Chains A and B, each alone.
Chain A
Amino acid sequence: GQNIDQPTEMTATEGAIVQINCTYQTSGFNGLFWYQQHAGEAPTFLSYNVLDGLEEKGRFSSFLSRSKGYSYLLLKELQMKDSASYLCAVRPRKAAGNKLTFGGGTRVLVKP
């Protein structure tokens, strides 16, 4: 089966850094994804890791350790607009159609 865990909620201050952890147990692994979802809106793609290490994209970075079944999303220089849910998703195996299994999301609240 598939199991993806991430904290339910986190609070941080504008300008600070927040790290959202995600642990997973899946049958096979072919990529980990992070999506951002503002309340009432569609999820939007943030990052993709398939090999171990850190991927940096501007203020957002994502890290993967396949041996530990662990990833984190790092948000730097937090802005108020970063208040959203962040969804960790795993693609269990390479298959047509990009089947993703999502975690329940971490709601990040950025305070002034």
Chain B
Amino acid sequence: DTAVSQTPKYLVTQMGNDKSIKCEQNLGHDTMYWYKQDSKKFLKIMFSYNNKELIINETVPNRFSPKSPDKAHLNLHINSLELGDSAVYFCASSPLRDTGELFFGEGSRLTVL
């Protein structure tokens, strides 16, 4: 009965490859996010979608492309992977209300060799 689920949990790949991470939420929330947590544990927002519409797009290389086929899904595709892309990527969702409470998935640990 996982609320926010993302796959895969672990991903090890070579530099230059293309990879995708998928996220799904069954909470009925309108807004979904991708956050990146680096080795120093800083969580930084990358993208946010509200009801399939992109509303936050931080300074992220255009090798990163999010896609939201419907409001329950938000996928992240990364082209031409670089060493610096190694991190834990967290998907999250929130209801459209004012608490700012984010519901995070368990994270996808990406290691680029």
**Which residues of A line the B interface, CB within 8 A?**
31, 33, 35, 41-45, 48, 85, 87, 89, 91, 94, 96-105
Contacts and interface: CB of A to CB of B under 8 A. Distances in A.
Contacts of B98: 94
B90 A98 contact: no
Given A97-B48, A98-B94, A99-B48, A42 B41 contact: no
Given A42-B90, A100-B100, 10 more contacts: A43-B104, A45-B102, A94-B98, A97-B31, A97-B33, A98-B48, A99-B48, A100-B102, A102-B44, A104-B41
9 contacts: A33-B100, A35-B102, A42-B90, A45-B102, A89-B43, A96-B55, A97-B33, A97-B50, A98-B94
B104 A44 contact: yes
A42 B33 CA distance: 14
Contacts of B56: 97, 99
A96 to B, nearest CB: 6
B43 A87 contact: yes
A42 B45 contact: no
A31 to B, nearest CB: 5
- Which has the most chain B C-beta neighbours within 10 Å: A35, A45, A103? A45
Contact of A42 (B44, B50, B96, B107): B107
Interface in B46-84: 48, 50, 55-56
Given A31-B100, A45-B101, A91-B100, A96 B31 contact: yes
Given A96-B31, A97-B56, A99-B56, A43 B100 contact: no
Contacts of B106: 41-42
B98 to A, nearest CB: 8
A91 B44 CA distance: 13
B39 to A, nearest CB: 11
